Amino acid sequence: MGLPSLPGPSNGDYAVNTNVVRAGNQCYALVEGGPFPVEFSYELESIARSNLGGLSRGFSAHPKRDPATGELHALAYQPGQPDVQYIVVGIDGIATVRCEISLPHMPQIHDIALTASSVIILDLPVTFQPKSNGPSSFPYLWNEQQEARVGLLPRSGEIQNSIQWFQAPDAGCFTS
């Protein structure tokens, strides 16, 4: 069930029910899989949808805050889209897409990790398969044909063949 109509940019009328973050001077409710964040008040009233000043499509429910810079880092995916976006939200609350990463098997990238120089990408065998389980079921399923791998992307987002990929044991990640 979606939210009542809210002002601001929209990429779907989805409920946001997974996580809460502060970006700039605002608090936002987030949900997995691509919808824009929803700004809320200190009384927990939904105010407006937000593209964080720079997103053309959704965000992530589990951004990671860099303790040194205060920036939020995220990999955002959207069901049915063949790529993910590496997004950084500055301390001013404005988002920039640093790069797009083409992953044609459309994985569910639920979480990331940060090092001082890299974003750790978890490209795992849970992939978008909307017709496999019926029209009203969860569209992400285990994919036996997809090998698990871990990627190291420079935090600058320079993608020209800069992701280092490493084979990993088959696994799934659904934690925050």
pLDDT value at residue 1: 47
Reading across the β-sheet that carries 19-23, which strands appear in turn?
19-23, 26-30, 38-40, 46-49
Q: Taking a C-beta distance cutoff of 8 angstroms, is the pair 87, 71 a contact?
A: no
**Amino acid letter, 36:** F
Calpha distance 69→78 (Å, rounded):
27
Q: Taking a C-beta distance cutoff of 8 angstroms, is the pair 158, 99 a contact?
A: yes
Pair of tokens at residue 138:
């969860």
pLDDT value at residue 5: 81
pLDDT value at residue 47: 94
- Domain ranges, ordered by start, for the chain: 19-167
Q: Mark the ranges of the chain whose per-residue pLDDT is less than 50.
A: 1, 176
**Amino acid letter, 40:** F
pLDDT value at residue 176: 41
* pLDDT tens digits for range 91-127: 999 999 888 888 877 777 778 899 999 999 888 877 6
Q: What is the pTM of this model?
A: 0.86
pLDDT value at residue 105: 79
CA distances from 80 to 11, 49, 98, 107 (A): 14, 22, 21, 10
Q: Which of 59, 158, 67, 144 is nearest to 109 (CA)?
A: 59
